[in-house]
Amino acid sequence: AATDESGTLSPFHFSRRENGDEDVTLKILYCGVCHPDLHNLTNEWGFTSYPVVPGHEIVGVTTKVGKNVTKFKVGDRVGVGVMVGSCKTCECCQQDLENYCSQIIFTYNSHNPDGTKNYGGYSDMIVVDQRYVLRFPDSLPLDAGAPLLCAGITVYSPMKYYGMTEAGKHLGVAGLGGLGHVAVKIAKAFGLKVTVISTSPQKESEAVNRLGADAFLASSDTAKMKSAIGSMDYIIDTVSAVHPLFPLLSLLKVNGKLVTLGLPNKPLELPVFPLVSGRKLVGGSDFGGMKETQEMLDFCAKHNIAADIELIRIDEINSAMERLARSDVRYRFVIDVANSLSAVGVVDTSAPLKKSCVLYYTSSVLGESIKQIRALRTRSISEVERPSRHNTA
Protein backbone atom coordinates (compact mmCIF):
# COMPACT_ATOMS: atom_id res chain seq x y z
CA ALA A 1 0.00 0.00 0.00
CA ALA A 2 0.92 3.65 -0.28
CA THR A 3 0.26 5.53 2.93
CA ASP A 4 0.89 9.11 1.81
CA GLU A 5 1.37 11.34 -1.23
CA SER A 6 4.92 10.15 -1.80
CA GLY A 7 3.11 7.25 -3.48
CA THR A 8 5.75 4.80 -2.30
CA LEU A 9 4.39 1.29 -2.04
CA SER A 10 5.39 -0.78 0.95
CA PRO A 11 4.13 -3.98 2.61
CA PHE A 12 0.61 -3.87 3.98
CA HIS A 13 -1.44 -6.69 5.49
CA PHE A 14 -5.21 -6.62 5.42
CA SER A 15 -8.22 -8.93 5.30
CA ARG A 16 -10.84 -9.41 2.61
CA ARG A 17 -14.45 -10.15 3.49
CA GLU A 18 -15.60 -13.77 3.73
CA ASN A 19 -16.99 -15.17 0.48
CA GLY A 20 -20.76 -14.46 0.49
CA ASP A 21 -23.53 -16.27 -1.39
CA GLU A 22 -23.15 -14.04 -4.47
CA ASP A 23 -19.38 -13.80 -4.26
CA VAL A 24 -16.46 -15.24 -6.14
CA THR A 25 -13.02 -15.48 -4.54
CA LEU A 26 -10.04 -15.15 -6.88
CA LYS A 27 -6.44 -16.12 -6.43
CA ILE A 28 -4.79 -13.22 -8.23
CA LEU A 29 -2.20 -14.25 -10.81
CA TYR A 30 -1.47 -11.02 -12.68
CA CYS A 31 -2.36 -7.36 -12.29
CA GLY A 32 -1.75 -4.58 -14.81
CA VAL A 33 -0.27 -1.23 -13.75
CA CYS A 34 -2.62 1.38 -15.16
CA HIS A 35 -1.95 5.12 -15.13
CA PRO A 36 -4.83 5.80 -12.69
CA ASP A 37 -2.83 3.73 -10.19
CA LEU A 38 -0.15 6.40 -10.37
CA HIS A 39 -2.67 9.28 -10.28
CA ASN A 40 -4.19 7.70 -7.15
CA LEU A 41 -0.94 6.81 -5.39
CA THR A 42 0.28 10.39 -5.46
CA ASN A 43 -3.19 11.89 -4.80
CA GLU A 44 -3.11 13.82 -8.07
CA TRP A 45 -6.89 13.87 -8.21
CA GLY A 46 -7.21 14.99 -4.59
CA PHE A 47 -9.45 12.19 -3.34
CA THR A 48 -7.08 9.36 -2.44
CA SER A 49 -7.96 7.73 0.85
CA TYR A 50 -4.77 6.27 2.33
CA PRO A 51 -3.71 3.57 2.72
CA VAL A 52 -4.35 2.74 -0.91
CA VAL A 53 -3.64 -0.58 -2.61
CA PRO A 54 -3.96 -0.01 -6.38
CA GLY A 55 -4.73 -2.45 -9.18
CA HIS A 56 -7.81 -2.82 -11.39
CA GLU A 57 -6.57 -5.03 -14.22
CA ILE A 58 -6.84 -8.27 -12.30
CA VAL A 59 -6.64 -11.78 -13.73
CA GLY A 60 -6.85 -14.91 -11.65
CA VAL A 61 -8.54 -18.23 -11.01
CA THR A 62 -11.57 -18.79 -8.84
CA THR A 63 -10.91 -20.59 -5.58
CA LYS A 64 -14.36 -20.30 -4.06
CA VAL A 65 -17.88 -19.49 -5.25
CA GLY A 66 -20.97 -18.64 -3.21
CA LYS A 67 -24.07 -20.83 -3.28
CA ASN A 68 -25.98 -18.42 -5.58
CA VAL A 69 -23.15 -18.13 -8.09
CA THR A 70 -24.23 -19.53 -11.43
CA LYS A 71 -21.71 -17.99 -13.80
CA PHE A 72 -18.52 -19.49 -12.37
CA LYS A 73 -17.09 -22.59 -10.78
CA VAL A 74 -13.87 -23.19 -8.88
CA GLY A 75 -10.84 -23.20 -11.20
CA ASP A 76 -12.25 -20.83 -13.84
CA ARG A 77 -10.06 -18.18 -15.44
CA VAL A 78 -11.61 -14.84 -14.52
CA GLY A 79 -10.97 -11.13 -14.56
CA VAL A 80 -11.92 -8.11 -12.46
CA GLY A 81 -11.63 -4.59 -13.82
CA VAL A 82 -12.31 -1.08 -12.60
CA MET A 83 -15.49 -1.71 -10.56
CA VAL A 84 -16.68 -4.20 -7.98
CA GLY A 85 -20.15 -2.85 -7.28
CA SER A 86 -23.01 -0.54 -8.21
CA CYS A 87 -26.64 -0.05 -7.09
CA LYS A 88 -27.98 -2.61 -9.63
CA THR A 89 -31.34 -0.81 -9.84
CA CYS A 90 -30.83 2.59 -11.47
CA GLU A 91 -31.34 3.33 -15.16
CA CYS A 92 -27.61 2.96 -15.87
CA CYS A 93 -27.38 -0.41 -14.11
CA GLN A 94 -30.47 -1.68 -15.91
CA GLN A 95 -28.97 -0.66 -19.24
CA ASP A 96 -25.68 -2.47 -18.58
CA LEU A 97 -23.95 0.84 -17.98
CA GLU A 98 -22.96 0.12 -14.38
CA ASN A 99 -19.84 2.17 -14.97
CA TYR A 100 -22.02 5.31 -14.95
CA CYS A 101 -24.03 4.35 -11.84
CA SER A 102 -23.91 7.20 -9.32
CA GLN A 103 -23.24 4.64 -6.58
CA ILE A 104 -20.48 2.80 -8.39
CA ILE A 105 -17.96 1.04 -6.16
CA PHE A 106 -14.48 1.12 -7.62
CA THR A 107 -12.09 -1.77 -7.18
CA TYR A 108 -9.87 0.33 -4.94
CA ASN A 109 -9.81 3.70 -3.26
CA SER A 110 -13.52 3.25 -2.55
CA HIS A 111 -15.82 2.13 0.25
CA ASN A 112 -18.64 -0.39 0.37
CA PRO A 113 -22.12 0.57 1.63
CA ASP A 114 -21.22 -0.94 5.01
CA GLY A 115 -18.26 1.44 5.29
CA THR A 116 -15.51 -1.11 4.69
CA LYS A 117 -12.74 -0.08 2.36
CA ASN A 118 -11.76 -1.68 -0.95
CA TYR A 119 -8.21 -2.60 -1.85
CA GLY A 120 -7.05 -3.44 -5.36
CA GLY A 121 -5.21 -6.12 -7.22
CA TYR A 122 -1.60 -5.62 -6.09
CA SER A 123 -2.45 -8.36 -3.63
CA ASP A 124 -2.81 -12.12 -3.57
CA MET A 125 -6.60 -12.55 -3.54
CA ILE A 126 -9.87 -10.68 -3.82
CA VAL A 127 -13.57 -11.36 -3.15
CA VAL A 128 -16.01 -9.90 -5.67
CA ASP A 129 -19.75 -10.06 -6.36
CA GLN A 130 -20.25 -12.35 -9.39
CA ARG A 131 -21.90 -9.56 -11.42
CA TYR A 132 -18.56 -7.73 -11.57
CA VAL A 133 -16.46 -10.75 -12.50
CA LEU A 134 -15.65 -11.55 -16.12
CA ARG A 135 -15.05 -14.79 -17.96
CA PHE A 136 -11.48 -14.67 -19.21
CA PRO A 137 -11.37 -16.42 -22.61
CA ASP A 138 -9.10 -19.46 -22.84
CA SER A 139 -7.19 -18.14 -25.82
CA LEU A 140 -6.19 -14.88 -24.12
CA PRO A 141 -2.84 -14.95 -22.32
CA LEU A 142 -3.39 -14.38 -18.61
CA ASP A 143 -0.56 -11.85 -18.25
CA ALA A 144 -0.80 -9.87 -21.49
CA GLY A 145 -4.59 -10.09 -21.39
CA ALA A 146 -4.86 -8.43 -17.97
CA PRO A 147 -4.58 -4.83 -19.29
CA LEU A 148 -7.65 -5.37 -21.44
CA LEU A 149 -9.72 -5.16 -18.23
CA CYS A 150 -9.18 -1.41 -18.09
CA ALA A 151 -7.15 -0.24 -21.09
CA GLY A 152 -9.03 -2.53 -23.49
CA ILE A 153 -12.57 -1.60 -22.49
CA THR A 154 -11.71 2.08 -22.09
CA VAL A 155 -10.80 2.37 -25.77
CA TYR A 156 -13.30 -0.22 -27.10
CA SER A 157 -16.40 1.36 -25.52
CA PRO A 158 -16.09 4.83 -27.09
CA MET A 159 -15.25 3.32 -30.48
CA LYS A 160 -18.57 1.47 -30.34
CA TYR A 161 -20.67 4.22 -28.73
CA TYR A 162 -19.44 7.11 -30.88
CA GLY A 163 -19.62 5.10 -34.10
CA MET A 164 -15.88 5.00 -34.69
CA THR A 165 -15.67 1.50 -36.13
CA GLU A 166 -16.39 1.94 -39.82
CA ALA A 167 -13.74 0.12 -41.83
CA GLY A 168 -11.58 2.41 -43.91
CA LYS A 169 -12.14 5.52 -41.76
CA HIS A 170 -9.10 7.27 -40.35
CA LEU A 171 -8.51 7.21 -36.57
CA GLY A 172 -5.83 9.20 -34.75
CA VAL A 173 -4.63 7.78 -31.44
CA ALA A 174 -3.03 10.48 -29.26
CA GLY A 175 -0.63 9.13 -26.64
CA LEU A 176 0.99 5.76 -27.22
CA GLY A 177 0.88 4.22 -23.76
CA GLY A 178 -1.23 1.48 -22.18
CA LEU A 179 -4.55 2.69 -23.56
CA GLY A 180 -3.12 4.02 -26.82
CA HIS A 181 -1.35 0.88 -27.96
CA VAL A 182 -4.43 -1.28 -27.31
CA ALA A 183 -6.52 1.30 -29.21
CA VAL A 184 -4.24 0.81 -32.22
CA LYS A 185 -4.75 -2.96 -32.14
CA ILE A 186 -8.52 -2.83 -31.65
CA ALA A 187 -8.93 -0.17 -34.33
CA LYS A 188 -6.94 -2.27 -36.82
CA ALA A 189 -9.23 -5.22 -36.02
CA PHE A 190 -12.19 -3.00 -36.97
CA GLY A 191 -10.45 -2.22 -40.27
CA LEU A 192 -9.64 1.41 -39.56
CA LYS A 193 -6.66 3.34 -40.88
CA VAL A 194 -4.70 4.34 -37.77
CA THR A 195 -2.24 7.16 -37.17
CA VAL A 196 -0.45 7.47 -33.84
CA ILE A 197 0.08 11.04 -32.58
CA SER A 198 2.86 11.04 -30.02
CA THR A 199 5.28 13.23 -28.10
CA SER A 200 7.86 10.41 -28.30
CA PRO A 201 9.40 10.22 -31.79
CA GLN A 202 11.36 7.13 -30.72
CA LYS A 203 8.09 5.16 -30.66
CA GLU A 204 7.58 5.49 -34.43
CA SER A 205 9.13 2.26 -35.56
CA GLU A 206 7.35 0.19 -32.90
CA ALA A 207 4.02 1.88 -33.60
CA VAL A 208 4.18 1.03 -37.27
CA ASN A 209 6.18 -2.20 -37.38
CA ARG A 210 5.09 -3.89 -34.19
CA LEU A 211 1.68 -2.53 -33.30
CA GLY A 212 0.38 -2.23 -36.85
CA ALA A 213 -0.34 1.51 -37.08
CA ASP A 214 -0.46 2.86 -40.63
CA ALA A 215 1.32 6.10 -39.82
CA PHE A 216 3.01 8.04 -37.02
CA LEU A 217 2.93 11.75 -36.29
CA ALA A 218 5.41 13.22 -33.85
CA SER A 219 3.50 16.12 -32.31
CA SER A 220 6.73 18.16 -32.22
CA ASP A 221 7.15 17.85 -36.01
CA THR A 222 5.41 21.05 -37.05
CA ALA A 223 5.63 20.41 -40.78
CA LYS A 224 4.07 16.95 -40.55
CA MET A 225 1.39 18.15 -38.14
CA LYS A 226 0.46 20.89 -40.61
CA SER A 227 0.32 18.53 -43.56
CA ALA A 228 -2.03 16.21 -41.60
CA ILE A 229 -4.55 18.96 -40.83
CA GLY A 230 -8.11 17.94 -41.72
CA SER A 231 -7.16 14.32 -42.46
CA MET A 232 -8.76 12.30 -39.64
CA ASP A 233 -12.33 11.16 -39.03
CA TYR A 234 -11.84 10.43 -35.35
CA ILE A 235 -9.28 10.86 -32.59
CA ILE A 236 -8.99 8.93 -29.36
CA ASP A 237 -7.04 11.06 -26.90
CA THR A 238 -5.34 9.00 -24.20
CA VAL A 239 -2.80 11.58 -23.02
CA SER A 240 -2.45 11.45 -19.25
CA ALA A 241 -1.30 15.04 -18.72
CA VAL A 242 -2.63 18.51 -19.48
CA HIS A 243 -2.07 19.19 -23.17
CA PRO A 244 -3.40 21.51 -25.88
CA LEU A 245 -6.45 20.25 -27.79
CA PHE A 246 -6.06 22.76 -30.61
CA PRO A 247 -3.53 20.71 -32.62
CA LEU A 248 -5.64 17.58 -32.24
CA LEU A 249 -8.94 19.24 -33.21
CA SER A 250 -7.18 20.68 -36.24
CA LEU A 251 -6.31 17.19 -37.45
CA LEU A 252 -10.01 16.28 -37.71
CA LYS A 253 -12.06 16.49 -40.87
CA VAL A 254 -15.39 18.32 -40.92
CA ASN A 255 -17.81 16.34 -38.69
CA GLY A 256 -14.82 14.69 -37.00
CA LYS A 257 -15.03 13.35 -33.44
CA LEU A 258 -12.49 13.56 -30.65
CA VAL A 259 -13.00 11.44 -27.54
CA THR A 260 -10.93 12.32 -24.49
CA LEU A 261 -10.08 9.45 -22.18
CA GLY A 262 -7.09 10.79 -20.26
CA LEU A 263 -7.70 12.13 -16.77
CA PRO A 264 -5.13 14.84 -16.03
CA ASN A 265 -5.51 16.62 -12.71
CA LYS A 266 -6.26 20.00 -14.28
CA PRO A 267 -8.91 20.95 -16.91
CA LEU A 268 -8.06 20.95 -20.59
CA GLU A 269 -8.70 24.14 -22.53
CA LEU A 270 -11.38 23.65 -25.19
CA PRO A 271 -10.73 25.91 -28.22
CA VAL A 272 -14.08 26.55 -29.84
CA PHE A 273 -12.99 27.90 -33.24
CA PRO A 274 -11.80 24.61 -34.72
CA LEU A 275 -14.86 22.93 -33.20
CA VAL A 276 -17.42 25.33 -34.60
CA SER A 277 -15.82 25.80 -37.98
CA GLY A 278 -15.80 22.07 -38.67
CA ARG A 279 -18.98 20.93 -36.85
CA LYS A 280 -16.75 18.73 -34.74
CA LEU A 281 -17.65 16.83 -31.63
CA VAL A 282 -15.71 16.41 -28.40
CA GLY A 283 -16.83 13.64 -26.05
CA GLY A 284 -15.63 11.60 -23.13
CA SER A 285 -15.97 8.03 -21.98
CA ASP A 286 -15.31 6.09 -18.78
CA PHE A 287 -14.25 2.41 -19.20
CA GLY A 288 -17.43 0.31 -19.77
CA GLY A 289 -20.26 -1.75 -18.34
CA MET A 290 -19.92 -5.44 -17.52
CA LYS A 291 -21.74 -6.72 -20.62
CA GLU A 292 -19.64 -4.62 -22.96
CA THR A 293 -16.44 -5.53 -21.12
CA GLN A 294 -17.21 -9.22 -21.69
CA GLU A 295 -17.96 -8.44 -25.35
CA MET A 296 -14.59 -6.68 -25.62
CA LEU A 297 -12.72 -9.62 -24.06
CA ASP A 298 -14.40 -12.01 -26.51
CA PHE A 299 -13.62 -9.64 -29.41
CA CYS A 300 -9.95 -9.47 -28.39
CA ALA A 301 -9.78 -13.26 -28.03
CA LYS A 302 -11.26 -13.67 -31.51
CA HIS A 303 -8.78 -11.21 -33.03
CA ASN A 304 -5.74 -12.34 -30.99
CA ILE A 305 -5.43 -8.97 -29.32
CA ALA A 306 -3.51 -8.62 -26.06
CA ALA A 307 -1.31 -5.91 -24.61
CA ASP A 308 2.44 -5.61 -25.17
CA ILE A 309 3.72 -5.95 -21.65
CA GLU A 310 6.76 -5.76 -19.45
CA LEU A 311 6.26 -8.39 -16.77
CA ILE A 312 7.61 -7.22 -13.41
CA ARG A 313 7.99 -8.62 -9.95
CA ILE A 314 6.05 -6.92 -7.16
CA ASP A 315 9.31 -5.68 -5.65
CA GLU A 316 9.99 -3.70 -8.84
CA ILE A 317 6.76 -1.72 -8.58
CA ASN A 318 8.12 1.61 -7.33
CA SER A 319 10.73 1.89 -10.06
CA ALA A 320 8.04 0.85 -12.55
CA MET A 321 5.90 3.78 -11.35
CA GLU A 322 8.78 6.18 -11.98
CA ARG A 323 9.17 4.80 -15.50
CA LEU A 324 5.42 5.07 -16.07
CA ALA A 325 5.56 8.76 -15.10
CA ARG A 326 8.11 9.39 -17.85
CA SER A 327 6.20 7.27 -20.43
CA ASP A 328 9.04 4.77 -20.43
CA VAL A 329 7.11 1.51 -20.70
CA ARG A 330 6.41 -0.77 -23.68
CA TYR A 331 3.45 -0.56 -23.21
CA ARG A 332 2.04 -1.83 -19.96
CA PHE A 333 3.68 -3.11 -16.81
CA VAL A 334 2.00 -6.24 -15.49
CA ILE A 335 2.85 -7.56 -12.05
CA ASP A 336 3.50 -11.28 -11.81
CA VAL A 337 1.62 -11.36 -8.54
CA ALA A 338 1.42 -15.08 -7.87
CA ASN A 339 5.10 -15.73 -8.52
CA SER A 340 6.63 -12.72 -6.85
CA LEU A 341 4.44 -12.02 -3.83
CA SER A 342 4.93 -15.42 -2.25
CA ALA A 343 8.53 -15.80 -3.47
CA VAL A 344 9.69 -12.96 -1.23
CA GLY A 345 8.06 -14.56 1.76
CA VAL A 346 5.51 -11.91 2.61
CA VAL A 347 2.41 -14.01 2.14
CA ASP A 348 1.60 -16.12 5.15
CA THR A 349 0.48 -19.24 3.33
CA SER A 350 -0.71 -20.85 6.54
CA ALA A 351 -3.18 -18.03 7.06
CA PRO A 352 -6.85 -18.48 6.16
CA LEU A 353 -7.85 -17.58 2.62
CA LYS A 354 -9.27 -14.23 3.62
CA LYS A 355 -5.77 -12.97 4.43
CA SER A 356 -4.24 -10.82 1.74
CA CYS A 357 -1.27 -8.56 1.44
CA VAL A 358 0.61 -6.27 -0.83
CA LEU A 359 4.28 -5.67 -1.37
CA TYR A 360 6.68 -2.96 -2.21
CA TYR A 361 10.11 -1.81 -3.27
CA THR A 362 11.74 0.92 -1.30
CA SER A 363 12.21 4.38 -2.79
CA SER A 364 11.44 7.17 -0.35
CA VAL A 365 11.80 9.85 -3.02
CA LEU A 366 9.26 8.34 -5.40
CA GLY A 367 6.71 11.14 -5.03
CA GLU A 368 9.30 13.87 -5.46
CA SER A 369 10.84 12.32 -8.56
CA ILE A 370 7.41 11.80 -10.12
CA LYS A 371 6.64 15.50 -9.62
CA GLN A 372 9.92 16.40 -11.35
CA ILE A 373 9.24 13.98 -14.21
CA ARG A 374 5.71 15.40 -14.64
CA ALA A 375 7.08 18.96 -14.85
CA LEU A 376 9.55 18.01 -17.57
CA ARG A 377 6.92 16.12 -19.63
CA THR A 378 4.51 19.05 -19.38
CA ARG A 379 7.12 21.40 -20.79
CA SER A 380 7.74 19.11 -23.72
CA ILE A 381 4.11 19.10 -24.93
CA SER A 382 3.54 22.80 -24.42
CA GLU A 383 6.25 23.40 -26.99
CA VAL A 384 3.98 21.94 -29.71
CA GLU A 385 3.12 24.63 -32.21
CA ARG A 386 -0.56 25.52 -32.64
CA PRO A 387 -1.64 25.32 -36.30
CA SER A 388 -3.44 28.41 -37.59
CA ARG A 389 -7.22 28.56 -37.43
CA HIS A 390 -7.98 28.91 -41.13
CA ASN A 391 -6.38 25.57 -41.84
CA THR A 392 -8.58 23.56 -39.53
CA ALA A 393 -11.57 22.35 -41.54
* Cα 49 to Cα 112: distance, rounded to the nearest angstrom: 13
Question: CB-wise, 256 or 262, nearer to ligand NAP?
Answer: 262
| Other residues' Cβ atoms within 10 Å of the Cβ of residue 311 | 15
Give Cα separations from 375 to 202, 379, 380, 381 (angstroms): 20, 6, 9, 11
* Cα 170 to Cα 185: distance, rounded to the nearest angstrom: 14
Ranges within 231-250 binding ligand NAP (CB under 6 A): 238-241, 243
Choose one: 15-23, 47-55, 103-111, 260-268; the region binding ligand NAP (CB under 6 A): 260-268
What is the closest distance, in whole angstroms, from the C-beta atom of residue 185 to ligand NAP in the complex? 13
Q: What angle do CA 301, 138, 179 make, to 5 degrees?
A: 40
Based on the shown chain and the rule CB under 6 A, indicate whether residue 347 belongs to the binding site for ligand NAP: no
**Is residue 200 within 8 Å of residue 327, measured between CB atoms?**
yes
Ranges within 118-157 binding ligand NAP (CB under 6 A): 150, 154
Nearest residue relative to ligand NAP (C-beta): 177
Candidate residues 16, 35, 169, 185; the one interacting with ligand NAP per rule CB under 6 A? 35
| DSSP conformational letter for 306 | -
| DSSP conformational letter for 208 | I
* Cα 322 to Cα 44: distance, rounded to the nearest angstrom: 15
What is the closest distance, in whole angstroms, from the C-beta atom of residue 376 to ligand NAP in the complex? 8
Based on the shown chain and the rule CB under 6 A, indicate whether residue 177 belongs to the binding site for ligand NAP: yes
Candidate residues 12, 119, 132, 287; the one interacting with ligand NAP per rule CB under 6 A? 287
Choose one: 69-77, 138-146, 352-360, 376-384; the region binding ligand NAP (CB under 6 A): 376-384
| DSSP conformational letter for 238 | -
Please work out the total of residues on this chain that contact ligand NAP, with binding judged by CB under 6 A. 32
What is the closest distance, in whole angstroms, from the C-beta atom of residue 343 to ligand NAP in the complex? 27
* Cα 374 to Cα 55: distance, rounded to the nearest angstrom: 21
195 strand-pairing partners: 172, 215
Based on the shown chain and the rule CB under 6 A, indicate whether residue 48 belongs to the binding site for ligand NAP: no
Question: DSSP 3-state assignment of 94?
Answer: helix
| DSSP conformational letter for 207 | I
Ranges within 312-341 binding ligand NAP (CB under 6 A): 324, 327
Which residues of this chain interact with ligand NAP, rule CB under 6 A? 34-36, 39, 150, 154, 175-180, 198-200, 203, 238-241, 243, 261-263, 285-287, 324, 327, 377-378, 381
